[in-house]
Chains A and B, each alone.
Chain A
Amino acid sequence: AAGVIQSPRHLIKEKRETATLKCYPIPRHDTVYWYQQGPGQDPQFLISFYEKMQSDKGSIPDRFSAQQFSDYHSELNMSSLELGDSALYFCASSLGTAHSYEQYFGPGTRLTVT
């Protein structure tokens, strides 16, 4: 079965640089969530999209922005990178926003800021 695809899998950037993370949800899934998992931490919700519109916002810094495109893939844009942004970034998708629906996670993008 098709899963959530994230690219790149690994990314190394320097401080103050920008980064773009991409997420391709499971086919027919119209809802995308972004989470950040710091070293040894639990995943923290950043932002979500439903039908190409931002649906919810969590602890996403103002330096970050995201959008969902017409084909439902999503991109997380990160600017003015800081050392503390080094983390594993997960994208998850679901079929709609009903609370009973499980979210399926991608393998993550490991971002290292030096």
Chain B
Amino acid sequence: AQSVAQPEDQVNVAEGNPLTVKCTYSVSGNPYLFWYVQYPNRGLQFLLKYITGDNLVKGSYGFEAEFNKSQTSFHLKKPSALVSDSALYFCAVRDMLGGSQGNLIFGKGTKLSVKP
């Protein structure tokens, strides 16, 4: 089965410091990986995706993610965190098994808290 895992329920970081939100994946074949952010009482907003090509993917709001095939990881990063980055972050993989039309399989989510 295809899956993603987010090993940390919560990540705390001080404003201005770099942040990393971890994600590992388990898929058959090449992975299609995504990061979404969810603010309280809001829908999920697309941040970035890895399909193929450069291992470092740049996305919205200054976020980037590094795809590492040997470690089966796709960690989300930002060089300098903002208080407004505080939200729930979901890693997701595209389901491509059994003729699936590509629904997303989400990790459990990581709550990011950025303190002033």
Contacts and interface: CB of A to CB of B under 8 A. Distances in A.
Interface string B20-62: 0000000000001010100001111110010100000000000
The prevalent SS among residues of B at the interface is: loop
Given A99-B96, A102-B34, A106-B43, A45 B105 contact: yes
A17 interface: no
Contact of A99 (B32, B45, B105): B32
A23 to B, nearest CB: 11
A72 interface: no
B36 A42 contact: no
Interface in B67-116: 90, 94-96, 100-109
A107 B45 CA distance: 9
A29 to B, nearest CB: 13
A55 B106 CA distance: 19
Interface residues of B, number: 25
Contacts of A102: 34, 46, 49
A74 to B, nearest CB: 14
Interface in A72-114: 90, 92, 97-108, 110
B94 A105 contact: no
A97 B102 contact: yes
A56 B101 CA distance: 6
Most-contacted residue by chain B among A48, A99, A100 (CB, 10 A): A99
5 contacts: A42-B90, A48-B103, A99-B51, A105-B44, A105-B46
